[in-house]
Structure 1
Amino acid sequence: MRQFTEEQTLFRSSYRQFLEEEIKPHMAEWREAGIVDRSAFRKAGERGMLMIWPDEKYGGLGDPDFRWDQIIIEETARAETGEFFATLHSRLVGPYFKNIGNEEQRERFLPKCISGETILAVAMTEPGAGSDLSGMRSTVRDMGDHLILNGSKTYISNGINADVVIVAGKYLAEGASEPANPHAMTLVIVERGMEGFSRGQNLKKMGLPAQDTAEMFFDDVIIPRENVLGTPGMGFIHLMEGLAEERLIAATGYSASARHAFDLTRDFVMERNVFGKKLSQMQNTQFKMAELDSEIDMLQVYVDHLVNLHNQGLLTANAAAKAKLLGSEIQWKMMDEGVQLHGGAGYMDEYSISRMFTGSRINRILAGSSEVMKLIIGRDIFSQNYQSMLN
């Protein structure tokens, strides 16, 4: 049985109601517009549902328990409102201020992030640097009393809406012409309106049409020292420290999305007639659904296990990579079979499974592709740590 507190169970009901009242009714309109309206973040903030973990002095609940965000992620999948990237804002980008920011930065940014007045994004990806960040070409040059940011980023989620963007660039020490090493990076806080900071158009995608994704350009952007996040030159390490949680966030969503797609498909095949009987009575359908049901259940158990480990500070990069790999692959299998079992209806946008199919395709790529996850897991298998664990 899944373990949530009574307070969290009540929160699940409240968050489900919030999505049904304030977000889901607008999704068709926002998909047409290509962007979720900023008011969605403010409404979540007004109800105390945007950020849970920050201390009360900033406006949060001060509870770091990941299960609060697990509920938010699961209910977002259930409501088919995944293009509302509140979790990216709240749990993926926001914690950088907690983990590596200073008190002045937390006091300056967190209250408006919690209220939804300020929307967050993180910019790492470049045309030549996705999973391999060493290929990054953007630079942050130390000028002593300030820094200068140059370069460009692409495929940035919340790219149009974002007011504050955490940007990674190769660190050039004062007077240096080259980075000290390929992984010497610095994270800086770029704010809307800074001179030299501009954005490209809202990019058209295969799926997730209401999720704003954009290019960003930085032309001699002056970064004041107070907008340096963490230690200059240590940005790569700072980024790596957050990847395990990022992949757990992803796996949590994949599991919930797969289960919702399963439920939709189950309902459909119980109503669809083929050769004089319900499709659900066909042995092939029963076998397919039995296999999917088993895999999704096992995925959920593993995700819940990792959430428990994460709350204890024991989540490893290897375990999170396994969850991300299995979650994205099982989700994709469910979406593909779901479309197939829906028949021609599955190809029609009016059916949820069609939108879920195109929306989920990115998940075997973002936050580290399936191939990169296999590389991480494979390296661990042949490491001394793995052998010592077995012994």
Structure 2
Amino acid sequence: MKRSIYSQEHEDFRSMIADFITKEVKPHFEQWERDNLVDRDLFRKLGALGVMGFDVPEEYGGSGATSYKYQAVITEESARAAVSFGHFGVSTGIVLPYLLNHASDEQKKRWFPSIATGDTMLCIAMTEPGTGSDLAGIRTTAKLSADGTHYVLNGAKTFITGARNSELCVVVARTSPARADDRRFGLSLLVVATDSEGFEFGRKLEKIGLRSSDTNELSFTDVRVPVENLLGEQDRGFSYLGRNLARERLQIGVGACATATAAIQFAKEYTQQRQVFGTAVASFQNTKFVLAECATEVAALQAMVDQGVELDDAGELTAADAAKIKLFGTEVAGRVIDKCLQLHGGYGYMLEYPIARLYADTRVSRIYGGTSEVMKTIIAKDLGL
């Protein structure tokens, strides 16, 4: 179906990104997958391209207010090429908005110029070994020093994306006890330098997919965090997380749609070339029907995602909207990519074919950013249930 959300400027940007992927990503991507880490210099090259500072004010070297559509284009082109930019999307699309929305003028002057160039990358540490979707149960603590100059951070985090390739980590910590009637009270966001004394990397976790992006365990032992690194107001961190999670879930939905679209194209190309009993697999009725089903589901998903992008640009994307996009998007992507892998036969299980990588990468999308079950809870609450 014809899409109408992109202008010629977006399509020109798409061409630039596709060319960058061809020259700077594809020749190195298999090595990054083996290393479980992209080359750190990739982000500086992206900074030189002008895509690290989306929405960062021009006075700090950024591109100023920018439509999310540009980030969606990057996601689509990466999926089309079956590559990724490591944790670029996490740093730019998920963590940076926290700073854009809540950083003070002094913090913006300190952090934004190097973020825009790609010299400073961002990660966020929410999940803990015993706390996943229940963020109110966070146990990491940040206690204000007696002289009020710094917080002392202690605790542990897990499943943290991109930490080894980041200079700053937004850590969610408890700065005050929870209230009897409000478990969410008392959480704060602290921006912590990853080279701080007491900031330790634990295991680099081995994943079945998304292998070019590092995922880590972190621990904090008496880490001194200047009070000047408190993001927003103390004890109000949970409300900040709630507002920013809508963008994160939209981004996951955009990615799900992009990978499902790419999977259909990979399956179409493979089945047109593959011969069985002297006939192209694409000529069999089953192949045609499976791809027709996939294309129809993805067209419905694309319409939903595009509307979500437009709502985000207008500042009108709600938590329930984002939950619906993530739930439907990730479930559709899982079904479609599985069917497209099946059409590849045994070769679909081989990592030399991009469909295998998409299959492994996509599974976690129904878990991170809030599980499908949590999305259903949010949607049900919006229905008044």
Instruction: State the TM-score, normalizing by the size of structure 2.
Output: 0.95
Q: Is contact 2:84–2:212 with CA below 8 Å preserved after alignment?
A: no
Partners of 2:286 and 2:85 in 1: how far apart? 33
Q: Deviation per CA, 1:236-263, whole angstroms, max 9, x where unpaired?
A: 0011110111111111111011100110
Q: Does 1:146 align with 2:154?
A: no
Task: State how far apart, in whole Å, the 1-side matches of 2:212 and 2:152 are.
Answer: 33
| CA distance in structure 2 between the aligned counterparts of 1:278 and 1:302, rounded to whole angstroms | 34
**How much does 1:83 deviate?**
5.1
Alignment partner of 1:313: what SS?
coil
In the alignment, which residue of structure 2 is the partner of 1:7?
9
The question of 1:302 aligning with 2:301 is answered no
Q: Which runs of 5+ in 1 are unaligned?
A: 173-177, 384-391
1:357 CA drift (Å):
0.6
User: What SS does structure 2 have at the residue aligned with 1:149?
Assistant: strand
- Does residue 179 (structure 1) correspond to residue 170 (structure 2)? The answer is no
Aligned 1:1-391 pairs, distance under 5 A: 1-82=3-84, 84-143=86-145, 144-172=148-176, 178-180=177-179, 181-183=182-184, 184-382=186-384
Task: Classify the secondary structure of the residue corresponding to 1:94.
Answer: helix
Name the CA distance, whole Å, in 1 between partners of 2:104 and 2:377. Answer: 34
The separation in 2 between residues aligned to 1:50 and 1:244, in whole angstroms, is 21
Aligned residues: 378
SS at 1:231 equivalent: coil
**Do 1:83 and 1:209's aligned partners in 2 also have CA atoms closer than 8 Å?**
no
C-alpha displacement of 1:142: 2.3
Q: Give the Cα separation in 1 of the matches to 2:143 and 2:373.
A: 33
Secondary structure at 2:55 match in 1: coil
Is the contact between residue 55 and residue 100 of structure 2 (CA under 8 Å) also seen in structure 1?
A: no
Distance apart, 1:19 and its partner CA: 1.3
Output the CA distance in 1 between the equivalents of 2:197 and 2:178: 25
Distance in structure 2 (CA, Å) of the matches to 1:119 and 1:3: 29
CA contact (8 A) 1:83 1:208 kept: no
Structure 1 runs of 4+ off > 6 angstroms? none
Give the distance between the partners of 2:378 and 2:232, measured in 1 at CA. 26
Deviation at 1:332, TM superposition (A): 0.8
Look up the SS of the partner of 1:105 in the other structure: helix
For the residues of structure 1 that align with 2:254 and 2:324, how far apart are their CA atoms? 12
CA-based RMSD: 1.3
> Which residue does 1:389 correspond to in 2?
none
In 1, distance between residues paired with 2:54 and 2:315?
Answer: 18
Q: How far is the alpha carbon of 1:337 from its aligned partner?
A: 0.7
Q: Is the 8 A contact 1:141 1:147 kept in 2?
A: yes
- Cα separation, 2, equivalents of 1:372 and 1:223: 32
| CA distance in structure 1 between the partners assigned to 2:249 and 2:26 by the alignment | 26
SS in 1 for 2:163: coil
Aligned residues of 1:19 and 1:76 also touching (Cα < 8 A): yes
What SS does the aligned partner of 2:344 have? helix
